[in-house]
Amino acid sequence: MRYLTVICMMLASFSGAVSQTMTHEETMVRTSYARFAYAVQQGAIGKLALDAKSNRTAPEYSGMTSAERLANSRVTFTLSDFKIGNMRDIMDRRITDFITQPDKENLASSLTEMSYTEPGLSSRWSWFELTWQEAPAPPPPAGANMTFTEVYPLLGNKVPPDLAWQRYASYTVTVSFEGQSRGPYKALFIFGHDAKGNEVLEPHDLTTDSSGLVYSLHQALFPEPLLLGTLRTYPVVAKWLFENQMPDSACSPGRRDICCDLVKLKCGPGRTDEATLLSQPLPK
């Protein structure tokens, strides 16, 4: 069932600049997209840092400057038209009223986890790599007309719908990557609880890979290898760290997590955390 691929997770803690009028649901949606975009950019600077360290460049980047590689990897999202409500109010509505089927391409993500080690430092590093891929064929008319009530029993979820599907955030998205743009299109986050009472969410975005959105909320994205090791001595890394640090007003210093401006959908390491780690001597 292409319209609803269920992805559930326990909500992770996060830091973000939140409007006083922003609901919990909109906050989580914006946090997911902002962290996703940051993780993609961190993958690009991670590759640049390792290229600088090894003094080698992969053939696919031959002739490209560091700035060009970073710009080419940047994914941007614009989110608007948020509507928040109770799932019971839309259970008899068609899924296509809330989730747009892509007509040409969708943005696929693959999670990369790397173990980076140098004397005195060993840490894991995570990022996402994105590619445009041909969108799947549209579903048959019967599937397109299904309601949330009709599709729920087909998902194999053992939790009753009134527990698993309690609240929703409906919104529109425009995504840009590698000079291509898609949207505005409709997407949906569903909020509920599992059998143990833990809050779970399900992102349903058929143009931007939903798995990347959910993983971005619980992956450790703080760039320790860039801050504690010799990678920080390379100019391309130092420049990126300076340009992407976030003010302490958007952060909870000391947590070693990235923090986000949820209006601009921009994330990065906090200024205090970054300065604290950069002040430590390099490992010997």
User: pLDDT for 90-144, tens place per residue?
Assistant: 999 999 999 998 877 888 888 777 767 777 776 666 676 767 676 665 555 556 6
Distances (CA, A) of 166 to 37, 40, 90, 148: 27, 31, 11, 12
Q: In what order do the strands lie in the sheet with 15-17?
A: 15-17, 258-261, 266-269
258: amino acid identity, one letter: I
What dihedral do alpha carbons 213, 217, 220, 225 form, nearest 10°?
Answer: 50
The domain limits of the chain are 15-278
User: pLDDT for 185-211, tens place per residue?
Assistant: 999 999 999 888 899 899 999 999 898
Q: CA–CA separation, 234 vs 53, rounded Å? A: 8
Three-state SS at 117: strand
- 134, β-bridge pairs: 105
User: pLDDT for 66-89, tens place per residue?
Assistant: 898 888 889 999 999 999 999 999
